[in-house]
Amino acid sequence: MKNFSTVGTRIAVGALFACALAGPVQAATCEFRPNAPDQHLVVRGDTLWGISGKFLDHPWCWPQVWGMNRDEIRNPHWIYPGQIVYFDRANRRLSLTRPGASNNADGIDGTTRLSPQIRTEGLGVDAVRSISASVIDPFLSMPLIVEKDELKDAPRIAALEEGHVYLGKDDKLYVRGRLNGGSSFQVFRPGNELKDPDTGRLLAYEAVYLGTVKLQQEAKAGEDVHTFTVSAAKQEMGVGDRLIPAPPTPIRNYVPHQPERQTSARVLSIYSGVTYAGQNQVVSINRGSVDGLDVGAVLQLYHFGQTVADPGGNKGFLGLGKTMIKLPDEQIGTLFIFRVFKQVSYGLIMQVTKPVEVGDVAKSPE
C-alpha cells in the first residue's frame, strides 16, 4: 500500500521522552524503513503520522519504538516544533536525545548542556496536534452518535415561546425531563439508525446536531417544565427535539497504536451520507469501548469479500443449485479512531487506495 500522509494537518505528537530504552522492537510488523533518516527536525504543520512515516513502515508502531506503556499512550507528553527526533539505529529506537550523547544535563566539564525538552504543562497553542482539527472538530464538540438507551431518558423540548414554531438564538423554550444537575445542553434530533451489519441489531442513532441551550430556571414545585434559552442555533429547533449534556473538553492528546484487543469491525456509515469515502473522510464502525477500542487505535480497512457463485463448482444434489465461494477481504486503507462511544466509534481515513463503502471491514493491523 502506498504511504499517504494527511495533508495540511497539525497533529498531536505523543512522543514520550523515553530516550532509548533497552531492546529492539520485536514485532514483525514494526520495521524501520530502509531509507529512514538519522533525525528529523519537528516543524510547524508536522503530523505524528507524517513523522512516523519517515522512520517506520507502519505509523501505529510509534509507541513501540519509543518504549511507551499503555498509560503513556493514553496520557503522553507533548512535543513541539523545534525539537529533533533521532533514530537510534543501534537500539532500534526513536529518541529526543542524540545517540551516544549523555542523558545528564551537565557535561563532563561541568557546563550545562541545553537540549530539546518536552513541555508537560499541557497543550499549548504551538503544540502539534493529533489529527486534522478542521476535519474532526465537529465530531469532537457535537454528540453525533446517540446510544439507543440514551433516548428514553433524554429531556425533550415540550413547548416553545408563544408565537414560535421553531427556535433561533436567544429564544425561550420549555423542557421536560430530568436535568440531573446539568445547565448546558446540546439539542439534537435522532437521525438514521445505525444497525450492526453482522447481526442487524440497532446499536445507536446518528444525531442531527441543532445547537445549544442554557438553563434559565429549573422547574419549581407544581411546575412541569424547565425554562431554557437558545445559546447557539445551527438548525431550527422544535417540539420533540432532545437534549443531552454538553460533552467534556475533547481529548486531543493521543498516540496512534494498535488496539488493545484483536478487533474486527464493519463500516456503519459515511459522514454526509455519501456512498463512498476517501482519504481524510470520517466513517463510523460497529465497535466501541465495550470492545476494547480507545482513542488513537489504528485499524486496517478492507473491502468485504463477497460470496459469489462458482461457475465451475459442484452443482449440488442431482446437479441442482450452485456452489458458493467467499472471496478474500481486500486491504485498501488505514483508519485512525478519534472518538469512541459504547458500541460505535468514529474514525478518520488516513490512507486509502480505493474508495471505502458501508459494510467494509476494519481490522487490527496484521
Residue range 305-329, pLDDT digits in tens = 778 887 766 655 555 567 888 888 8
Q: If you average pLDDT over residues 2-17, what whole number do you get?
A: 32
Phi and psi based region of residue 57 (left: phi greater than 0; alpha: psi -120 to 50; beta: remaining): alpha
pLDDT for res 145: 84
Q: CB burial class (10 A; 0-12, 13-18, 19+) of residue 123?
A: middle
Q: Is pLDDT at 97 greater than 60 in this prediction?
A: yes
Q: Which residue type sits at 198?
A: D
Q: Is pLDDT at 18 greater than 50 in this prediction?
A: no
Strands 298-303 and 276-277: unpaired
- Residue 296 CA to residue 224 CA, distance in Å, equals 43
pLDDT for res 316: 55
What percent of the chain has a predicted confidence (pLDDT) above 70?
77
Give me the chain's average pLDDT, please.
78
Give per-residue pLDDT as tens, 209-221.
Answer: 899 999 999 999 9
C-alpha distances (whole Å) from 120 to each of 66, 78, 92, 117, 253 are 17, 7, 26, 9, 12
What domains can be seen in the chain, in order of their start residue? 1-133 (no CATH), 143-245 (no CATH), 264-363 (2.40.10)
Cβ contacts of 59 within 8 Å, gap of 6 or more:
48, 49, 52, 53, 256, 298, 350
Using only C-alpha atoms, what is the Rg of the chain? 25
pLDDT for res 241: 92
pLDDT for res 77: 66
Strands 202-217 and 282-285: unpaired
Q: If you average pLDDT over residues 267-296, what whole number do you get?
A: 89
Least confident segment among 150-154, 193-197, 228-232, 243-247: 150-154
Phi and psi based region of residue 177 (left: phi greater than 0; alpha: psi -120 to 50; beta: remaining): left
Nearest to 245 by CA among 136, 142, 140: 142
Q: If you average pLDDT over residues 232-240, what whole number do you get?
A: 88
Task: Provide the CA 361 distance to its chain's centre, in angstroms.
Answer: 16
Give per-residue pLDDT as tens, 36-85.
Answer: 999 999 888 777 778 888 999 888 888 888 888 777 777 666 677 888 98
More confident call, 331 vs 163: 331
pLDDT for res 344: 93
What percent of the chain has a predicted confidence (pLDDT) above 90?
31
Residue 153, classed as helix, strand or coil, is: coil
Give per-residue pLDDT as tens, 107-126.
Answer: 333 333 333 344 434 445 56
Q: If you average pLDDT over residues 31-36, what whole number do you get?
A: 92
pLDDT for res 7: 30
pLDDT band, very low/low/confident/very high, at 190 (cuts 50, 70, 90): confident
More confident call, 208 vs 110: 208
Helix/strand number for the chain, H first, E second: 5, 20
